[in-house]
Amino acid sequence: MKGFKVKQLKNILSPQDLNNLSDAELQNLAGELRDRILETVSKNGGHLASNLGVVETTLAIHRVFNNPEDQIVFDVGHQCYAHKLLTGRQQEFDTLRQWNGISGFTNRKESQKDAFGAGHSGTSISAALGLAMANQLDGKNNYVIAIVGDGSFTNGMIYEALNNCNKKNLRLIIILNDNEMSISENVGGLSNYLSKIRNSQNYFNLKHQTQSFLHKIPLVGDGLVEGTRKLKKHIKKRVVAENFFEHLGLDYLGPVDGCDLKKLESVLSEAKSKTNCCLVHIHTVKGKGYLHAEEHPEMYHSSGPFDLQKGIPKKASENSFSAIFGKIMVETANTNDSICAITAAMTGGTGLDQFSQTHPERFYDVGIAEEHAVTFAAGLSANGKTPVCAIYSTFVQRVYDQLIHDAAIQKLPLIMALDRCGLVPGDGITHQGIYDCSYLSTIPGIEIFSPETDAEMKQSFKQCFENKKLAVIRYPKGAEQPYDRSGFIDDGDLSYQDFIEVDNDPDQPEMVIITYGRITRNVYEAIQLLAANNRIRLIKLVKVYPLNIPKIISLMGQPKLVYVLEEGIRSGGIGEKLAAAFAQTEDFKPGKVRIRAIENPLMEHGDLSALYECCGFLPQQIADEIVGILGNK
């Protein structure tokens, strides 16, 4: 991006400072906002394309409305960067997504100008409706504005909320940000419908041209404008049929160019005059102002740090767990025509790009509709298919009911491929994949696998395809971590390694450490830090539920300490399940059982090292805790 001669952003300390800016100054400010967003995201990572697309929209909202008295709710919350820069957070913006820095999403703790926190899709209209109804009950005349991407309109919760928005005298304005993208390209009938609306602007353009002409007529112009409003319905019926939103009882304005400040301000001002809930349909360009993001918006939806000049390399990592999963799916589907893949608007993120191209007739991107995805997969299973549903761990929280009601109760085989499990750097509190083992293990008949290596991942999928049960295979973002695994002895659903002096009895370890998944490397490195005379056996679980307690106990002897470490929440986790099982086994009496897990599940954002340190998961922290438990000096 080119620099601007006049710097406006440093003078914007609150949204009210926007009101006296000229058109030229506002355009300069839009450029500065894009520059600052680009500079920060290229260093810290974050959501880029969506934020570049809503710069002018954000400026228009803050000029027409009075925030925080008028409350702004962002769906998902990831497109709020310009909002943060305009609402007193310029100095902290360089800390975006960093430990103890500002969040990449709206956050009520961070500012009163963030009316409602978010991180998952589809919540905005429900929340905004609640805020607006509370205002109405309190006799307040403030507005509530919900900004919703068209991708979120594939989420069922949006329609549940819209169905309740037909209240009179409700000061609620919904801005439908139509950029033809969610994360992957939008799909389905709603996407096609919005495309038709975008191409049917005759009515909207005619209305504004007529009003502009009549206002210019001396003396009688304003009266003529009022008179023409009485003809509005008749004219509209002649030009374009009543649309879906109007059938729900909402007023509808648009489509309008969301990057045209003057036009958008005019339309938002008109929306304020409505007595009903009003939906303003805008059209924006994802990635606007940064050519790489405009050409490949899906790559810049959420990125790590990158070179601003070169952009993100087009070739994704071939070694990530997501990529390995994609290869497994393609290879298996090549010889098994019952394999089907389902995802929820995350084709690229889950590694299913190649599958979607190789087996398009068996690939289903259902949009941001996780609940539908799982029940749809259960339907495929009921008619003999082998569905694999790939969703990020944080979003699987939404499908607990479907997994019980539609899969488990009916004993339908279904494989859930859970990406981004464990601690997730950057995105923070709403995206941590730390709950799944705890709540999914309560589902009757489910099997949960947590492979640490590519080989374990391939074996886990092979076993699940063969067993035909309700199963979960969970894995973190990133790739297999390198360290010396040559000492591990494979024993089916688990493996183990001894760190014992040659002349000591390997069947009587002084200490047994049990863990699973990515955190195993930290445990391994912690063992290297412990005194050489500690007799230690490390057990790494691959199948973490149901637990094979007899096998695990057979490998433990009678140790002084059993130390369980897991990268998940403690409450209801695998550690607590192991501790409960040990306590109920009469002939197994270890000296102590200790669990190191995530005690405070509301983990904020930061890099992985900072998150590990907060949880006590760094190798030195693990070693120090074990030494303290054993009473070593």
pLDDT of the residue at 205: 54
Q: Measured between alpha carbons, how far is 544 from 460 in angstroms, rounded to an integer?
A: 11
Catalytic residue selected from 286, 288, 540, 570? 286
In the residue annotation, 604 being an active-site residue is answered as no
Which SS3 state, helix, strand or coil, does residue 465 take?
helix
* Mean pLDDT within 367-392: 97
Q: Which of 383, 323, 386, 385 is nearest to 349 (CA)?
A: 323
| The token pair that represents 263 in the structure block | 């036009």
Cα-based angle 412, 417, 423 (whole degrees, multiple of 5): 135
Q: Measured between alpha carbons, how far is 204 from 115 in angstroms, rounded to an integer?
A: 31
On the 0-12 / 13-18 / 19+ scale of CB atoms within 10 A, 482 is exposed
In the residue annotation, 229 being an active-site residue is answered as no
Phi then psi dihedrals of residue 620, to 5 deg: -65, -35
In the residue annotation, 543 being an active-site residue is answered as no
Computed over every residue of the chain, the mean pLDDT equals: 90
User: Measuring CA to CA, how many Å separate 192 from each of 135, 199, 372?
Assistant: 35, 11, 19
pLDDT of the residue at 185: 53
pLDDT of the residue at 199: 43
Q: Which tens digits make up the pLDDT trace of 298-346?
A: 889 888 899 999 998 876 678 999 999 999 999 999 999 999 999 999 9
> What is the reported pTM?
0.88
Catalytic residue selected from 89, 398, 535, 596? 398
pLDDT at 239 > cutoff 70 = no
Lowest mean pLDDT among 332-341, 439-448, 539-548, 601-610: 601-610
